[in-house]
Amino acid sequence: MQLTAEVLSLNITTINGRNYSSTDSHVGNSHVEFSFGQIQRFGTIKKIFHSTQTPGKTWMILMPWKELDKSDDPYNKYPDLNCRLVRDEFEASVIVEQGKIIGHVAVLKNPAGTFGIQVKTITAVGLGTMVCDSIELVCSCLLNKWFVQGWEGLDM
């Protein structure tokens, strides 16, 4: 069997009716939550491609954001938010099949010093595992939960 290094580069792919793009095509649609081994990670899509060696599969080169220690992540106390604080830096790129993509990610870039952390961070919210489709409903649900349970402990 002879392997060839030919791939077809794509700017966009569709997963479950939603468009996903490489960073050079559309930055907002490139932020993703994905499965890597047994864990869920956040990152951005560098490239999307097909290979003649794996017909019918779409592959992505992803750049995962560096994780913070769980004790430094103020969202760690609220797993229902599907939110994580990560470093605004990338780890080594990984290649995953598009079936490992969970969904889009909403991103808020934080300056150094936010939450007492001396490096730039990103607040990443996974949207692919949200129970509702509407971002307005998501915000309403989150605010309602915080008002019902109280603001104590939200030392953000």
pLDDT one-digit tens code per residue, 90-147: 999 999 999 999 999 999 999 999 999 999 999 999 987 655 445 555 555 555 544 4
CATH architecture observed for domain 7-149: Roll (2.30)
Sketch the domain layout of the chain as residue ranges. 7-149
pLDDT one-digit tens code per residue, 4-51: 668 899 999 999 999 999 999 999 899 999 999 888 999 999 999 999
In the chain, what is the greatest distance between 2 CA atoms, to the nearest angstrom?
A: 63
**Looking at the DSSP assignment, which residues form a beta bridge with residue 15?**
18
> Do 31 and 107 meet the contact criterion of CB atoms below 8 Å apart?
yes
Question: Based on C-alpha coordinates, what's the Rg of the chain?
Answer: 17
Predicted TM-score of the model (pTM): 0.79
pLDDT one-digit tens code per residue, 67-78: 999 999 999 998
Predicted local distance difference test score (pLDDT) of residue 152: 44
